Amino acid sequence: MTIEQLIKDINNKIYAPIYLLMGEETYYIDKITEYLMSKVLEEHEKAFNEHVFYGKDISAGQVDNIAKRFPMMANHQLVIVKEAQLINKFEDLVYYAANPLKSTILVLNYKYKSLAKSKKLYKEIEKNGVIFESKKLYENQVPDWIVNYLARKKIGISLPAAQLLTENLGNDLSRISSELDKLILTLPENTNRISPELIEANIGISKDYNNFELQKAVGMKDVYKANLIIHHFAKNPKEHPLALVINSLFSYFSKVLIYHVTPDKSSKNAASVLGVNPFFIKDYQVAAANYSQGKLTQIFDVLRTFDLKSKGVDASNTEPDELMKEMIFRIMH
């Protein structure tokens, strides 16, 4: 079931007796649970009918006993088990799942992994309840997620600014949403757009000196700007470790190579193949024009060499900042 269908059903008071909310991305698991807590029971009903437990503190047998109770002066009782993957003998819940009480809404937060579809418990919940799998977004999907998250709050952001946040925050949606909510609070009066300058001032991410801007400068063969960024990185090695820069450039040039060998280079198709927003395709067009496939092969050799040097192989005690400068020089010349 999709998140949209889940929310629609909850709004329409269409409840399942069991919700298995599972997966690596905890953001949606938490949000769906919070939504059920806000919708199923009235405030005066919660004292006797809302029960929240943690998996490490409860067994499958205890969950079964609690779920079989009838609600008091309400249509439903809501039983939530957070960190349900830690429930002792979790799969013993199969007996309850086979015949759940209709007046109980049992919510199982099964985080950081997913229950195997081959398990009998999975099949019983699938038959009698709702299963929602919350998967991690790929990093190339995160900028659009940020744009849409803010749009629902009637706040705008440019794709480069969203990419800047992604480059530095990764794909942890809980962390990203928290940072976005903080940024919204810092917006000047009568302003409804988050700018790179606001991000830099409040999150500490430089709008000019980051891996995204380095990729762009190297792709454009802007030697001056690339050296400025590398100089900044060298002064802040803890924030910009060589290994992270190498990984970032390897990912970038891999996409440039894929662009080279993609027959249909239309923006829509190339964006789909590369896994990026069409807005950024022009950057890959420029990079492909500046770096032939033969040169890209050399660049991958350079990146592998400096990856080994960053780990102490044939580095001759060279400082990481000097290695970084030499690496960028060899890539661009």
pLDDT in tens, 52-71: 999 999 999 999 999 999 99
| Segments of the chain assigned E as strands | 18-23, 50-54, 77-82, 104-111, 130-133, 156-157, 193-194
Query: What's the pTM?
Result: 0.76
Is domain 3-133 in CATH 3.40.50.1580, yes or no? no
pLDDT in tens, 265-299: 999 999 999 988 888 999 999 999 999 999 999 99
Taking the C-alpha atoms of residue 67 and residue 43, their distance in angstroms, rounded to an integer, is 20
Taking the C-alpha atoms of residue 143 and residue 62, their distance in angstroms, rounded to an integer, is 43
* 22, 122 contact by CB (below 8 A): no
* 260, 125 contact by CB (below 8 A): no
Taking the C-alpha atoms of residue 45 and residue 87, their distance in angstroms, rounded to an integer, is 27
Q: Where in the chain are the domains? A: 3-133, 139-203, 211-332
Token couple for 181: 């909510």
Is domain 139-203 in CATH 3.30.930.10, yes or no? no
Mean pLDDT, residues 82-102: 96
pLDDT in tens, 149-168: 999 999 999 888 998 898 88
Angle, CA of 164, 168 and 169, to the nearest 5°: 110
* 21, 106 contact by CB (below 8 A): no
The hierarchical CATH code for the domain 211-332 is 1.20.272.10
